[in-house]
Amino acid sequence: KELMKHGPVEAALTVYSDFLQYKSGVYHHVAGDELGGHAVKLIGWGVENKVPYWLVVNSWGTTWG
């Protein structure tokens, strides 16, 4: 409700080493060590192939993901 009423919100997620190789689509942790927390901007949500997801903006620049 917050997102719909007020726009983007900050969110936190746990980053695993396989997240560093992410290229596109819905990220799903498969393997790798926990690296720590990361803040992102949540701008939307949806469902792809019956998998719900959050649409986020990362701060790592345009060449990542």
- What pLDDT shows up at residue 63? 78
CA dist list (Å): 15 to 20, 45, 54? 8, 19, 15
Residue 18 contacts residue 31 (beta carbons within 8 Å): yes
Q: Where are the domains of the chain?
A: 2-57
- How far apart are alpha carbons 6 and 8 in whole angstroms? 7
- How far apart are alpha carbons 9 and 51 in whole angstroms? 21
Average confidence score pLDDT of the chain:
90
Instruction: Answer whether residue 64 shows pLDDT above 80.
Output: no
5-53-40-35 Cα dihedral, nearest 10 degrees: 150
- What pLDDT shows up at residue 47? 92
Query: pTM here?
Result: 0.75
Residue 47 contacts residue 36 (beta carbons within 8 Å): no
